[in-house]
DNA sequence: GAGTGGTCTAGACCACAAT
DNA sequence: TTGTGGTCTAGACCACTCC
């Protein structure tokens, strides 16, 4: 962890704290600090890396801002848990118009291992002839079918997923993290309004043609690679998708 | 700008940099630094306020993180412009499936001054018997009607708006900022899928019942008060609403 | 009381932009 | 060359948690 030498070409200049950040992030990616782990104190990290405490602080602060670390005054810095408090809703923006928000239960209606078709390969940047898990779920709110999900993940990253059946009904990302060491750091979502197909209508108990909110999601690992492709269709008569922009 | 005195009750403790932040934010709110203005340097502010440069830095950094200030190394710290670069899209998440993103042109179809009904009063937290502007617009993308907007703002905050007709076709928020000193700092959006009414269908050139993306937005001033209530209905056959969560 | 993160200071040097 | 923000350091003190 030495500063890049000053030369005629300071183009390769990188601030020290970013180097520290990448060092810590690297250890998060390789999994040597699992979720919930206590990191060394700022002073310890500083002396290990040969920088000052303030520089370590700036690196840890930036990782905490992305919810990868949790700082607790008086206790220490921890690797963020996937299932913690309000962070559970970090990637779930569907909110009831009235009442408390809750992660809805789900029932898997189909799970199969197939070769990735073109759409799946594009979505997850997979090579030809790789295999994927294709999971279909129905999510229930107040015992009413409300969301249909089609989830695609590669079998390479998630081998022997079928041995973990029944899958958790609420939070798949906790499973990814704890059983496969794969941590979702960021998701992109693209929303459209679509008409329910006859099949959608049967599954959701609504008429064919009913407007549904279609959400297409790509989930990214903290190392930047694509983890999961998820297509959802939601009844929004009693729900909405909430976004805050600033 | 003095530190709160240390006592038996440090409950009223507020970090110095937050006091500095509020002092600067206060001047932004009262408008003594208009958009584009150059702020005093960190050193100047520090000596004015009787704190160290590092403390001022922390305050300015937090305001820059919310896009209220723009920091330019070598030049200074500026009040953010409303129409600047990619920040134009800060509050506009509708993106074409293919091709470049653009702020769509709009045509005002209706503008009137009426007493606020209950829904408008709730949305904007207005007292009974206050007046509002009600604006209806159609937005066009590639010359095709794509978005219907119903905008509600109070006449108290935006007096004599009718003298500014024709309104700008792209960015209303720049008008709010430059002509009325009202700066949008944050918006909340709630999305649903709805069926096009017969009237929607005529305006958008689609069949009654076509699924539309309905967006309900509340825009907040940087002082936290509610500025604008906007209801949009969008055709999403060639567009999507983009969100990134982290 | 010991240890942690959080704040604050003072001063040095660097990268960048304008002069 | 000057002035700005950006980084880095070293050290002090504060607030919080746990023993």
Q: Look up the protein residue whose alpha carbon has the minimum distance to the C1' of C5.
A: A73
Is there a contact between A191 and B240 if contact means CB atoms under 8 Å apart?
A: yes
Selecting from B189, B191, B194 the residue whose C-beta is nearest the C-beta of A245 gives B189
Interchain CB contact of B150 with A (< 8 Å):
no
CA of A2 to C1' of D19 (A): 38
pLDDT at B83: 79
Is there a contact between B209 and A209 if contact means CB atoms under 8 Å apart?
A: yes
Q: pLDDT 10s per residue in chain B (246 long)? A: 444 443 343 456 889 999 999 999 999 999 999 999 999 999 999 999 999 999 999 999 999 999 999 999 999 999 999 877 667 899 999 999 999 998 999 999 999 999 999 999 999 999 999 999 999 999 999 889 999 999 999 999 999 999 998 999 999 999 999 999 999 999 999 999 999 999 999 999 999 999 999 999 999 999 999 999 999 999 999 999 999 999
Assigned token pair, B174: 């720049």
Number of CB atoms found within 10 A of residue A89's CB: 15
Mind listing the pLDDT tens digit for each residue in A147-204?
999 999 999 999 999 999 899 999 999 999 999 999 999 999 999 999 999 999 999 9
Using an 8 Å CB-CB cutoff, list chain B residues near A80: none
Interchain CB contact of A15 with B (< 8 Å):
no
* Distance of alpha carbon A171 from alpha carbon A162, whole angstroms: 17
pLDDT at A115: 97
Query: pTM, whole model, 2 decimals?
Result: 0.93
Mind listing the pLDDT tens digit for each residue in A66-125?
999 999 999 999 999 987 766 789 999 999 999 998 899 999 999 999 999 999 999 999
Is there a contact between B191 and A236 if contact means CB atoms under 8 Å apart?
A: yes
How many angstroms away from the CA of B90 is the closest CA of chain A? Answer: 7
pLDDT at B240: 97
Strand, helix or coil for residue B210: coil
Average confidence score pLDDT of chain A: 93
pLDDT at A11: 52
How many angstroms away from the CA of B43 is the closest CA of chain A? Answer: 21
Buried b (16+ CB within 10 A) or exposed e, B7-45: eeeeeeeeebbebbbeebbeebbeeebebeeebeebeeb
Task: For residue A90, report the phi and psi dihedrals to the nearest 5 degrees.
Answer: -50, -40
Strands of chain B (E only): list them. Answer: 69-72, 76-79, 94-96, 105-115, 131-141, 144-154, 184-195, 211-221, 226-234, 239-245
Three-state SS string across B101-121, please? CCCCEEEEEEEEEEECCHHHH
Selecting from B90, B91, B191 the residue whose C-beta is nearest the C-beta of A191 gives B191
Q: How confident is the model at residue A8 (pLDDT cuts 50, 70, 90)?
A: very low
Nearest Cα to A235, choosing from A147, A172, A174, A163?
A147
Q: How confident is the model at residue A28 (pLDDT cuts 50, 70, 90)?
A: very high
pLDDT at A4: 43
Between A12-16, A158-162, A217-221, B61-65, the lowest mean confidence (pLDDT) is in A12-16
Using an 8 Å CB-CB cutoff, list chain B residues near A91: 245
Of residues A47 and A142, more confidence is placed in: A47
Selecting from A187, A193, A240 the residue whose C-beta is nearest the C-beta of B212 gives A193
Instruction: Please answer whether residues A39 and A45 qualify as being in contact, where contact means their C-beta atoms are separated by less than 8 angstroms.
Output: yes
Q: How much is the average pLDDT of A120-141? A: 96
Nearest Cα to B230, choosing from B92, B89, B84?
B92
């Amino acid at each position: 962890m030495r500063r890049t030498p000053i030369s005629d070409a300071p183009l390769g200049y990188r601030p020290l704290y970013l180097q520290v950040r990448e060092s810590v992030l690297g250890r998060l990616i390789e999994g040597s600090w699992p979720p919930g782990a206590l990191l060394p104190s700022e002073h310890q990290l500083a002396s290990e890396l040969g920088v000052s405490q303030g520089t370590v602080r700036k690196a840890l602060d930036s990782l905490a801002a992305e919810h990868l670390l949790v700082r607790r005054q008086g206790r220490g810095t921890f690797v963020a848990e996937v299932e913690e408090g309000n962070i559970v809703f970090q990637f779930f923006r569907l909110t009831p118009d009235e009442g408390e928000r809750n992660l809805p239960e789900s029932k898997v209606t189909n799970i199969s291992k197939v070769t990735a078709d073109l759409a799946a390969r594009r979505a997850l940047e997979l090579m030809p002839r790789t295999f994927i898990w294709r999971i279909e779920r129905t999510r229930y709110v107040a015992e009413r079918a409300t969301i249909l999900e089609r989830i695609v993940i590669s079998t390479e990253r998630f081998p022997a997923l079928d041995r973990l059946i029944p899958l958790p009904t609420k939070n798949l990302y906790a499973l990814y993290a704890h059983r496969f060491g794969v941590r979702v750091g960021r998701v992109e979502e693209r929303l459209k309004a679509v008409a329910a197909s006859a099949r959608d209508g049967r599954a959701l108990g609504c008429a064919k043609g009913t407007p549904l909110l279609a959400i297409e999601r790509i989930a990214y690992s903290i190392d930047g690679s694509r983890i999961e492709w998820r297509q959802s269709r939601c009844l929004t008569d009693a729900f909405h998708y909430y976004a805050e922009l600033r």
